[in-house]
């Protein structure tokens, strides 16, 4: 029976994107809302700013992810096309190149050459893509899905502080919002660490630290403008 160790590295792609999206949603919306609240705005104005921030942030995440994943896919496609041409034009040189890569990784010359021969016979382009270019899953990048997932996770994160604005009494808004947002961030860090099998304390601290810093800065800016106005 085939035994496979249960590593979690393959999960890090979507996990990273989801945590990043939710983290951005919580931090930017909570900070925005705190800044507006610190300037002395009414609840309605605070909510309008928060909802606008949610939409703007989700769209910006989607656009950024789409552009980044598309250009990554374009680069990989171009690299593989070039490699396909080289394989057709100079098969001996490409074999030597693959052999040299395996020698560098620790095989002796004879074995490296043998491995290169067999892998070339099996799927030359896949072998060159993986071992020379570092492209493991050929054209696995899906820009539209990545864009929608980023926007959705951002929106989920952004909704949390907005719900708190509705629930908290006006007098306790600032501190209540800051405390609950830090709690959400800590929970997100915990979830991310659990899902990825990484150390919990480090993850929670990292996520909470940047959130606290962002909220403190925007609250400070809002308070300055509130006093000046
Ligand atoms: Zn090659």
pLDDT of residue 191: 87
pLDDT of residue 184: 93
Per-residue pLDDT of 197-229, as tens digits, reads 888 888 888 888 988 999 889 888 888 887 765
- pLDDT value at 11 more than 70: no
Our measurement of the distance from residue 172's CA atom to the centroid of its chain's CA atoms, rounded to an integer in Å, reads 33
CA 193–ligand 1 middle distance (angstroms): 38
Q: How far apart are CA 32 and CA 218, in angstroms?
A: 7
Q: Is the dihedral of CA 94, 97, 101, 106 positive or negative?
A: positive
Q: What six digits make up the tokens of 56? A: 């703007």
CA 73–ligand 1 middle distance (angstroms): 19
Strand, helix or coil at 39? Answer: coil
Q: pTM of the full predicted structure? A: 0.75
Provide the pLDDT confidence category of residue 10 given band limits of 50, 70 and 90.
low
Query: What CA–CA distances, in Å, run from 185 to 57, 93, 189?
Result: 17, 53, 6
Residues 6+ apart with CB under 8 A from 50: 29, 32, 33, 36, 158, 161, 162, 165
Q: How far apart are CA 103 and CA 113, in angstroms?
A: 9
pLDDT of residue 47: 94
Most confident of 2-11, 25-34, 132-141: 25-34
- pLDDT value at 18 more than 90: no
- pLDDT value at 23 more than 50: yes
Q: How far apart are CA 17 and CA 63, in angstroms?
A: 14
CA 129–ligand 1 middle distance (angstroms): 8
Per-residue pLDDT of 128-140, as tens digits, reads 998 998 887 645 6
Q: What six digits make up the tokens of 208? A: 């909470």
CA 4–ligand 1 middle distance (angstroms): 30
CA 79–ligand 1 middle distance (angstroms): 10
- pLDDT value at 167 more than 80: yes
Query: What CA–CA distances, in Å, run from 227 to 34, 44, 122, 213?
Result: 15, 20, 71, 21
CA 7–ligand 1 middle distance (angstroms): 29
* Chain mean pLDDT for the chain: 88
pLDDT of residue 194: 84
Per-residue pLDDT of 39-66, as tens digits, reads 888 999 999 999 999 999 999 999 998 9
CA 138–ligand 1 middle distance (angstroms): 15
pLDDT of residue 7: 59
């Amino acid at each position: 029976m085939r035994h496979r160790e249960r590593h979690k590295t393959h999960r890090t792609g979507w996990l990273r994107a989801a945590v990043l999206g939710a983290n951005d949603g919580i931090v930017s919306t909570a900070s925005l809302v705190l800044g507006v609240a610190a300037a002395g705005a009414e609840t309605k104005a605070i909510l309008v700013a928060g909802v606008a921030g949610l939409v703007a942030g989700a769209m910006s995440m989607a656009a950024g992810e789409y552009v980044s994943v598309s250009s990554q896919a374009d680069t990989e496609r171009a690299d593989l096309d070039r490699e396909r041409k080289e394989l057709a034009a100079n098969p001996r040189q490409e074999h030597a190149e693959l052999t040299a890569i395996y020698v560098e990784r620790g095989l002796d010359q004879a074995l490296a050459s043998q491995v290169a021969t067999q892998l070339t016979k099996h799927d030359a382009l896949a072998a060159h893509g993986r071992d020379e270019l570092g492209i493991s899953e050929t054209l696995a990048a899906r820009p539209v899905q990545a864009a929608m997932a980023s926007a959705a996770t951002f929106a989920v994160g952004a909704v949390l502080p907005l719900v708190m604005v509705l629930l908290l009494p006006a007098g306790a808004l600032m501190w209540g919002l800051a405390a609950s947002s830090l709690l959400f961030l800590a929970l997100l860090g915990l979830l991310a660490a659990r899902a990825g099998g990484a150390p919990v304390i480090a993850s929670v601290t990292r996520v909470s630290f940047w959130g606290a810093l962002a909220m403190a800065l925007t609250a400070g800016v809002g308070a300055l403008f509130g006093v000046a106005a």
